[in-house]
């Protein structure tokens, strides 16, 4: 109960300045990382709610709230979906925050947020690189990088672990890992 209360307080403070009661919401667009996080969380919340996984839904809302509280001000494009996703779990505070965002009608008439598929695609992928079954490094490459590019970056990252030996086999599991067998 205490944790839930703290979470609701953080949501409140992300939108309303506690000292003055003024709105912390700005009409400026969110930065790219925050926008991608928002759409990833909207997609996850929709999936979790459809599957009745409410604990993970709340965990995603906490993750978004934590990201928003690190910002100097909360962008409106993040605040509105956050309040709408919170509404099924805490309708009392969500309704009050909705009014503070400037809406006269109830949020029950607002559409639930929908994720933009273009913002769900990762720009880069981090691969753990194993040498003989033990992780010896990590590489970050563009998500659409060719297998040869991933292989070359992996061999470069673990060159010290190879100790001058020539790898017998390099296995690239797309989007997951690279395994080097010496």
Average pLDDT by consecutive 10-residue portion of the chain (182 residues)? 94 93 93 95 97 97 96 96 98 96 94 93 89 94 91 93 90 93 92
Give this prediction's pTM.
0.74
Domain C-terminal end among 97, 120, 143? 120
Which residues, in sequence order, are bridge partners of residue 75? 26
What are the distances in angstroms from CA 68 to CA 30, 71, 88, 136? 10, 5, 20, 34
CB atoms within 10 A of CB 65: 22
User: What CATH number does the domain containing 134 carry?
Assistant: 3.10.20.590
Shared-domain flag, residues 72 and 40: yes
Range of the domain at 105: 2-120
Say if residue 136 is in the same domain as residue 110: no
Total number of domains constituting the chain: 2
Are 27 and 84 contained in the same domain?
yes
What's the confidence (pLDDT) of residue 163?
A: 85
CB atoms within 10 A of CB 24: 20
- From its phi and psi, is residue 158 left (phi > 0), alpha (psi between -120 and 50) or beta? alpha
Residue 164, pLDDT score: 84
Let me know whether 14 and 100 are in one domain.
Answer: yes
């Amino acid at each position: 109960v205490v944790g839930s209360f703290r979470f609701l307080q953080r949501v409140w403070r992300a939108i309303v300045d506690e000292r003055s009661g003024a709105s912390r919401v700005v009409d400026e667009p969110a930065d790219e990382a925050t926008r991608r996080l928002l759409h990833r969380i909207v997609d996850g919340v929709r999936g979790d709610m459809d599957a009745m996984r409410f604990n993970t839904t709340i965990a995603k809302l906490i993750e978004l709230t934590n990201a928003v509280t690190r910002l100097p001000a909360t962008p409106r494009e993040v605040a509105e979906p956050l309040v709408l996703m919170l509404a099924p779990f805490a309708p009392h505070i969500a309704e009050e925050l909705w009014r503070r965002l400037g809406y006269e009608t109830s949020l029950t008439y607002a559409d639930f947020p929908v994720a933009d598929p273009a913002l769900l695609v990762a720009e880069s992928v981090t691969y753990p690189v194993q040498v003989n079954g033990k992780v010896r490094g990590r590489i970050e490459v563009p998500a659409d990088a060719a297998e040869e590019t991933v292989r070359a970056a992996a061999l470069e990252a673990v060159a010290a672990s190879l100790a001058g030996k020539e790898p017998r086999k390099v296995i690239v599991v797309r989007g997951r890992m690279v395994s080097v067998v010496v």
